[in-house]
A = this chain, B = another copy of it.
Amino acid sequence: MDIDTLLSQVKSGEMNIEKAREYLKTLPYEDLGFAKLDHHRKLRSGYGEVIYCAGKTTEHLVQIYQSFYEKGSNVLGTRATPQQAQALCKALPQAQYDPLSRILQVIQTPVKQAGCVAICTGGTSDMGVAEEAAQTAEFLGARVQRIYDVGVAGIHRLLSKTTDLRAANCVVAVAGMEGALGGVIAGLVDKPVIAVPTSVGYGASFHGLSALLTMLNSCAEGISVVNIDNGFGAGYNAAQINRLALHDR
């Protein structure tokens, strides 16, 4: 029974007040009409659905994709294995897999991209995480400017891109090992910088811990950090900020 029916019955006297009050208390929360509480549709309205593929069985995954596909939704899956991708592509030939970013997409309605999010990496081995961020942001309507392999050990490479960096509404800085990229970029631009530590490296990089700590300790203003290798989180965040800048809320 939805709220309107309940209130109608109260009005008509079909249900007395005591019983109605009792019912309201024990209603599943979402039945109260907080439509936006389903967090999966918050930002993506009009863009599609997101699936975290890691750990899901192939059968289950194919089912989810198909269900969304039949509703006409675009779907973005992250951390998909080649096996998952192969199975899905067989079942749903429209699916596209990018082994670098591990993103497995089904696009039925092309996404219009606007604004600008710049996505930078320290080295070429950070590109997998960067592409996860980039393709997530694009899926959510952001235009993405890729600026790869501009690590601080050769600072001129980064500096030559200053104009591009400043043109973006938000910058995503992806780096492993020393992880200093985010802090240097935040000193060059006046927009929010989202830093993504990567697990690239060896020895005292401790699987991304070193880069994570570097980024959290940056003295530059305007930088925040997401989990190690969390390209999706950074891309989502960047798309949110880009949309705010576009007044497209």
Chain A residues at the B interface, C-beta cutoff of 8 Å: 3-4, 7-8, 10-11, 13, 17, 20-21, 24-34, 36-40, 42-43, 50, 54-56, 122-125, 151-157, 159-160, 162-163, 166, 169, 177-180, 183-184, 186-192, 194, 197, 199-230, 233-234, 236-237, 240-241, 244-245, 247, 249
Contact = CB atoms under 8 A, between A and B. Distances in A.
Contacts of A10: 7, 10-11
Contacts of A222: 42-43, 236-237, 240
Contact of A180 (B180, B200, B223, B241): B180
A221 B43 contact: yes
A121 to B, nearest CB: 12
B224 A194 contact: yes
A216 B204 contact: yes
5 contacts: A25-B33, A29-B157, A37-B154, A153-B218, A178-B217
Given A33-B21, A222-B43, A187 B154 contact: yes
A187 B41 CA distance: 11
Contacts of A213: 204-206, 209-210, 213-214
Given A11-B13, A160-B28, A233-B224, A155 B187 contact: yes
Nearest to A42: B190
A190 B221 contact: no
A180 B177 CA distance: 11
Given A203-B208, A213-B210, A156 B227 contact: no
B160 A30 contact: yes
DSSP class of A's interface residues: helix, strand, loop or mixed? helix
Chain B CB within 10 A, most for which of A54, A180, A207 = A180
Nearest to A152: B184
A39 to B, nearest CB: 5
A183 B123 CA distance: 14
A157 B38 CA distance: 9
A225 B11 CA distance: 49
A38 B154 contact: yes
Given A11-B17, A122-B219, A217-B211, A39 B154 contact: yes
Given A10-B7, A30-B160, A206-B213, A152 B180 contact: yes
